[in-house]
Amino acid sequence: MITTSLPLPLQSPGASHSLTVHRFGRPGARPQVYIQAALHADEIPGMLCAVHLRERLAAIETEGALRGEIVLVPVANPFGLGQTVLGHAIGRFALGDGSNFNRDFPDLEPGTAERVRDRLGRDPAQNVALVRAAMAEELAAWPAETPVAVLKKTLVGLALGADLVLDLHCDAEGAMHLYTLPTSAGVFAPLGAWLGSKATLVAEVSGGDPFDEVFSRPWVSLATRFPDVPLPLAAHAVTVELRGQADVDHALAKADAAAIIAFLSHAGALAGTPPTLPGQEGTIARLDQSETLTAPHAGIVVFRCAAGDMIRAGDPVVDIVDPLTGAISTVLATSSGVLFARNSTRFATPGKRLGKIAGDGSRRSGKLLGL
């Protein structure tokens, strides 16, 4: 294991931050896998999982059983990790401007297409190398003027060129679930099975430019743009939602790390045969058909269903109780699927998002991710 520390821009004189990067295996070995935790800095389950991953990968490397190269960033957002307001950690949004740390990453595809337009040939491997180089040039040209933008650019630079990218997050309260592109769902199905994922939410474009889509989306778009040249999908990325924010537990983190190690073995990054796949796999659901339950008015939030429950259209999911009159409004599901996430606050304002169902409702368009 080689550990490096990348300095980040000073946010104020004397206040320095850095990004710690652990590298395992021979540089340049394939498959190359990039794993980061806690880009939303108040999502701690991935951080503990990364601690267990680091131990396991170091031991595997010592045994000489590493075939690929693994890059692990256990704390992807040192800026966010330092943000607290009156004792509460604020790690999802930058306090400086309110921006979400996992939104507005660059779309490298249009510029990459221009760079490779007249240079793609008949050799798929050469085309992949050409596109990877062009994407790196596009990233280098991406302006990053604020410390947070530099952080984003640095993280993308670390993961760019990887065959597989795993971004470890969690929901407020949640069952294990994944987000990825439809074309990558099959690649990550074994990961989901080992993790015990209840649902994989897929979208061609989620609308928020999250971290994972930087790497996978350009390959799909380029293959569509240049249908006459052989251009394989050379990068697949997934956002792994490790249940809820309070699900920080040694046993869970150890099991999640073991599941990721099994997937790395399955992907050919480790020597030996991977463990047997569990029989059960979570459902694959379209993100644009997922249902967000909202509060019809202010009141006390009392859930009737747990995260991970299978819901049918018409089922009562959550009560909103008026604290002055005792009147209850029950929010019913309008679609069927897994209740994969719940809000963790127990008092709602009108319109507040209460929970999410990997449903089968009518398709939405626009920005499909929450704030």
Residue closer to Zn ion, measured from CB, 105 or 219? 105
Supply 94's token pair. 């930058």
Residue closer to Zn ion, measured from CB, 169 or 286? 169
Residue closer to Zn ion, measured from CB, 102 or 221? 102
Which of the ranges 53-61, 168-176, 182-190, 354-362 carries the binding residues for Zn ion, by CB under 5 A?
168-176
Asked if 189 and 200 touch (Cβ cutoff 8 Å), the reply is yes
Strands 199-202 and 177-180 turn out to be parallel
DSSP string for residues in 131-193: HHHHHHHHHHHS---SHHHHHHHHHHHHHTT-SEEEEEEEESEE--EEEE-GGGHHHHHHHHH
Asked if 136 and 246 touch (Cβ cutoff 8 Å), the reply is no
Query: Least distance in Å: CB of 159 to Zn ion?
Result: 16
* Total chain residues near Zn ion (CB under 5 A): 3
Residue closer to Zn ion, measured from CB, 115 or 198? 198
Told to check if 243 binds Zn ion by CB under 5 A, we report no
DSSP string for residues in 227-279: TTS------EEEEEEEEETT---HHHHHHHHHHHHHHHHHTTSBSSPPPPPPS
Told to check if 103 binds Zn ion by CB under 5 A, we report no
Residue closer to Zn ion, measured from CB, 80 or 359? 80
Query: Least distance in Å: CB of 300 to Zn ion?
Result: 26
Residue closer to Zn ion, measured from CB, 66 or 148? 148
Q: How far apart are CA 222 and CA 2, in angstroms?
A: 34
Asked if 180 and 216 touch (Cβ cutoff 8 Å), the reply is yes
Told to check if 169 binds Zn ion by CB under 5 A, we report yes
Query: Least distance in Å: CB of 2 to Zn ion?
Result: 28
Which of the ranges 135-143, 163-171, 291-299, 332-340 carries the binding residues for Zn ion, by CB under 5 A?
163-171
Query: Least distance in Å: CB of 90 to Zn ion?
Result: 13
Query: Least distance in Å: CB of 147 to Zn ion?
Result: 20
Length of the chain: 371
Query: Any bridge partners for residue 32, and if so which?
Result: 69
Q: Can you say whether residue 228 is alpha, beta or left, with left for phi > 0 and alpha for psi between -120 and 50 degrees? A: alpha
Query: Least distance in Å: CB of 278 to Zn ion?
Result: 25
Residue closer to Zn ion, measured from CB, 43 or 212? 43
Distances (CA, A) of 15 to 10, 19, 56, 151: 6, 14, 33, 15
Residue closer to Zn ion, measured from CB, 201 or 267? 201
- Please list every residue from 34 through 53 that binds Zn ion, using CB under 5 A: 40, 43
Find, among 51, 112, 15, the residue nearest to 248 by Cα. Answer: 51
Query: Least distance in Å: CB of 169 to Zn ion?
Result: 3
Query: Least distance in Å: CB of 102 to Zn ion?
Result: 6
Asked if 349 and 331 touch (Cβ cutoff 8 Å), the reply is no
Which of the ranges 54-62, 167-175, 262-270, 301-309 carries the binding residues for Zn ion, by CB under 5 A?
167-175
Which of the ranges 169-177, 262-270, 282-290, 351-359 carries the binding residues for Zn ion, by CB under 5 A?
169-177
SS3 call for 289 = helix
Distances (CA, A) of 283 to 73, 135, 165, 291, 315: 29, 33, 21, 15, 19
Residue closer to Zn ion, measured from CB, 221 or 290? 290
Query: Least distance in Å: CB of 76 to Zn ion?
Result: 10
Interface residues with Zn ion (CB under 5 A)? 40, 43, 169
